[in-house]
Amino acid sequence: GDFIIDSQSFHSYTLIWTGWGHTARVWDIAFASSPSNADPRCDSLPILISAGEDSTARLWSPLTSEKEITYPLRGHRCESVWSVDACEGIIITGGNEGCVKLWDLKSRVRTFRTRTAFDNLKSSMVNLPVPKDKLVQSDSTPTPNQEKEFYSHTFDKYVHQTDSKSSTKIKKKIAQKKKNNSKGQIICGIEFFSDRNGEMANKLLIATRAGGCFSLNLLLQSWEIHNNWDQFVFSFDDAKIMDLDPSTGSCIGVHPSGERVLVGTTVGWIVIASLSKNGDTQKFAFSCPSYRPAQSISWIDCVNFLVF
């Protein structure tokens, strides 16, 4: 029957494993089954894959060792690997340079004895650049010429009001702002999923912090561009269109049917967006009761999902 979990109840947890290897923060993790003919240290045991701010993904066997079971997955030309997932013997990672990479798990999980073996692993990686985000220009968003005029006017104004030393500092700040605005895509979510008729995960969904939403057909290695997840989103509270900041995107969860996706944000909003091709473009959003950042989303069944 129905049951209610007391929101005031307390739960205790016991730490059973800690892995050391990343040199910076860990952003995402995923579990995978050990492939056949794998390293004896992790045979028939679950494999943990972690992605971090040190631009690597790392493989672990939590039930056998605190150390990594193979060399780190390196290949992203960026500071952070934001997302990782695994399915059917394939590991996929997404970095903040706007690129996803596919890795063959079986070729990675084995005993490495020589440097030559490590070098040969380059052939087990597939590089798949994510399509460019669809930029939506609003009335309040300045055009490139308007920004250039603003920066020039602001700099000239302060040059006359301050000494040369202060103007140099201002010039550096303006240059840094331009540099920050020119950064590449940042992937906020990545997940394997199946289409309506699929029996196995044959697609990959990518969401970016510019509002982009893309799915990759793993068999054809072709991309499909979906509508931006942050545009024309209605609030469940008052049915009004929201002004969502796509840079707050933090995680995704694809519906079991493969027709919808949930996008979590760092400000507590959960967006429901359609992935179907039948013209359904409506998107809705609701907020978490405590307005805490959504760090992960998992569907329990076709109706219920878990957010933490």
**In this predicted model, what pLDDT tens digit does every residue of 161-189 receive, in sequence order?**
445 555 566 556 555 555 554 456 788 99
Residue 118: strand, helix, or coil: helix
Place of tokens 């969860």: 253
Q: What does pLDDT average to over the chain?
A: 76
Q: Give the residue-averaged pLDDT of 50-68.
A: 89
User: What does the angle CA 3 – CA 7 – CA 10 come to, to the nearest 5 degrees?
Assistant: 110
Q: How far apart are CA 57 and CA 30, in angstroms?
A: 10
Contacts of residue 221, Cβ cutoff 8 Å, sequence gap at least 6: 126, 128
| Residue 150 pLDDT greater than 50, yes or no | no
Q: Higher pLDDT residue, 60 or 279?
A: 60
pTM of full prediction above 0.75: no
Q: Higher pLDDT residue, 193 or 43?
A: 193
The pLDDT tens digits of the residues spanning 113-149 come to: 333 333 444 445 677 788 888 765 544 444 455 445 5
